[in-house]
Amino acid sequence: MILSEKLILALAMTTAIGAVAGYLGTLMLSKRMSLVGGPLGHLTLPGITLALIYGFDVSIGAFLVLILAIILIWVFEKRTKLPLETLTAIVFSSSVAVAFLFLPHEEIEIALIGDISQLSLATTLVSLLISAAVFLLVNKIYKRIVFIAVSEDLAKSEEIDVDKYNLIYLFAVALVIGLGIRIVGSLLTAAIVSIPAATSKNLSVNMRQYAYGGAVAGGLAAIAGIVVYSLFPIPAGPAIIISSAVLFLLSMIFRRKT
């Protein structure tokens, strides 16, 4: 009974996070930022480590470290004028190294590939609420971000506040990465945003199908992953990502060209 309750909570939380990550992922793909989920996920490792050591929520630790890292990268960029990707590489690799100085050996697997076995009702509800809020936020800015992705100069000429929308978008990315590390850990976050979006792109013929298709593919991968996790001795994070990859392979067979 307890196990089934835990499973229901896991199913609800991972589906919600998977869906919102897939939805946001369609925007990240359009801005060619799918792989950014990887370094950002790795960046969260010191936050996850602190959360595991001091017993607070891993998402809170991850989110705080993400904000700190973004500020650091911004300051470094202002001072050095080095490319953002170089500074991101410096900050994310340093944070991974620092995390491993403190990360307890027995917690390494949880930090890297996530853990959903000890979910509480409160944690699940908070995750659902944040997922829903991020979904609505992304929905609100979706067309503007697509416009910016098509041509930033054109968007500016139409008096779209590009900086404001990019900031909201990055905030949504940080929130989704913070949520995503709950289910897939810091190692696999790029996959929960990039694979569902790619699957959706294969199957959709317009922007609406593409956007919601990303959410559906992300949600389905999460459900399939949790089913696999409940039946076999496989960690949930990798099971979700493998399910997502299988969905992508299927989408290649049914790819729509019109």
Partner 1 sequence: MQMIKNKKKDIALSVRNLTVELNGQKIIENVSFELKRGETMVVLGPNGAGKSTLLKALLNIIPYTGEVEWSIENLSYLPPKELMERKEILPLTVGDFYSLKQIGKKKAYESLKSVGLEPEVYMRRVAHLSTGQFQRLLIAWALVDDPDTLLFDEPTSGIDIGGTETIYSLLHNFWQKSNMTIILVTHDLSVVWEHADNVLCLNKRGICYGTPMEALTTKNLKELYGVGVKYYKHAR
Only segment of 85-93, 128-136, 156-164, 217-225 that touches partner 1 (CB under 8 A): 156-164
The footprint of partner 1 on this chain (CB under 8 A) covers a number of residues equal to 22
Q: Is 258 in the site for partner 1 (CB under 8 A)?
A: yes
The residue within the footprint of partner 1, chosen from 3, 118, 153, 163 (CB under 8 A), is 153
Considering only CA atoms, which of 75, 57, 191 is closest in space to residue 124?
A: 57
Q: Is 150 in the site for partner 1 (CB under 8 A)?
A: yes
Q: Which is nearer to partner 1, 81 or 105 (CB)?
A: 81
Residues in contact with partner 1, shown as a per-residue x/- string from 196 to 235 under the rule CB under 8 A:
-----x--xxxxxxx-------------------------
Shortest separation between residue 165's beta carbon and partner 1, angstroms: 13
- Which element (helix H / strand E) includes 253? helix 236-253
| Residues from 20 through 79 that contact partner 1 (CB under 8 A) | 30, 32
Q: Which is nearer to partner 1, 146 or 228 (CB)?
A: 146
Considering only CA atoms, which of 160, 169, 202, 228 is closest in space to residue 31?
A: 169
Only segment of 16-24, 120-128, 154-162, 233-241 that touches partner 1 (CB under 8 A): 154-162
Q: Is 164 in the site for partner 1 (CB under 8 A)?
A: no
Query: Do the beta carbons of residue 179 and residue 20 sit within 8 Å?
Result: yes
The residue within the footprint of partner 1, chosen from 140, 156, 164, 255 (CB under 8 A), is 156
Burial environment of residue 167 by CB neighbours within 10 A (0 to 12, 13 to 18, 19 or more): exposed
**Three-state secondary structure of 154-223:** HHHHCCCCHHHHHHHHHHHHHHHHHHHHHHHCCCCHHHHHHHHHHHHHHHCCCHHHHHHHHHHHHHHHHH
Q: Which is nearer to partner 1, 35 or 154 (CB)?
A: 154
- Alpha carbon distances (Å) from 241 to 102, 178, 184, 209: 27, 17, 8, 22
The residue within the footprint of partner 1, chosen from 86, 117, 120, 151 (CB under 8 A), is 151
| Residues from 116 through 145 that contact partner 1 (CB under 8 A) | 143
Shortest separation between residue 111's beta carbon and partner 1, angstroms: 34
Lookup result for tokens 């490792």:
45
Q: Give the span between the Cα atoms of 29 and 134, in whole angstroms.
A: 17
Query: Do the beta carbons of residue 39 and residue 151 sit within 8 Å?
Result: no
Site for partner 1, rule CB under 8 A: 30, 32, 143, 146-147, 149-151, 153-154, 156-158, 201, 204-210, 258
